[in-house]
Amino acid sequence: MVSGKPGGLSGKGSSPPRQPISPPSSFLFVVLQAKFLSQDQINEFKECFSLYDNNHKGKIKASDLITVMRCLGASPTPSEVDRHLLWHKIDRRAELDFSTFLNIMYKQMQQEDPQQEIRTAMAMIDRQKKGFIPVSELRAKLTKMGEKLSEEEVDDLLKEAKVGPNGIIKYEDFIRRITVPITNY
């Protein structure tokens, strides 16, 4: 025990010990946990994060970030992941800790609205603005643009669609069907 010295733990006239200041990411972790994310979400994120923590150091490779995020249901593009890493000043060859990962997931969740993203894309195909699009045109866009889907992936998506007799899809119904959250996986 140290006594009689400034900052000591005992003794008359000594000042109380200084409390360590948490780094910003730890502070942010607590704020996010308390205000914006449920304990169940945090537990789910931690479990998935731990699967990619190969060295058991509480960190994942930045190169695994997109995979971990997608495993948790987020849909970041590679450029979005690069922006997150740049914002946190993390090199793609580096690692990130759980509190940083949690911050990135929170930001990604805030900017994603899959229904609106799909609705915007469908509206671009729907030139007449009637709420319907031809299956053939949807298939062409899904297999040739953006993150291209395979024919099998498109077939799986279209199984969810109610295709009209003339090969037309009412896209609001389609959007609702394909963006329903998975309850048990």
**Rounded CA gap, 154 and 151, in Å?**
5
**Which of 63, 89, 111 is at the close of a domain?**
111
Query: Residue 150 is part of which domain span?
Result: 114-178
Residue 39 lies in a domain: yes
Contacts (Cβ under 8 Å, ≥6 apart) of 160:
174, 177, 178
**Which of 111, 143, 160 is at the close of a domain?**
111
Mark whether 170 and 106 lie in a shared domain: no
Which phi-psi region, left, alpha or beta, contains residue 55 (left: φ > 0; alpha: ψ -120 to 50)?
Answer: alpha
Q: Could you state, in chain order, the average pLDDT of each consecutive group of 10 residues for the chain (185 residues)? A: 40 46 46 65 92 95 95 89 93 93 88 78 86 88 82 83 83 80 52
Residue 67 lies in a domain: yes
pLDDT at res. 35 = 57
CATH number at residue 164: 1.10.238.10
Mark whether 124 and 51 lie in a shared domain: no
**Which of 88, 111, 134 is at the close of a domain?**
111
**Beta partners for residue 132, in sequence order:** 170
pLDDT at res. 181 = 60
**Rounded CA gap, 146 and 77, in Å?**
10
Q: Count the residues in the chain.
A: 185
Number of structural domains in the chain = 2
Mark whether 149 and 97 lie in a shared domain: no
Residue 19 lies in a domain: no
Mark whether 29 and 83 lie in a shared domain: yes
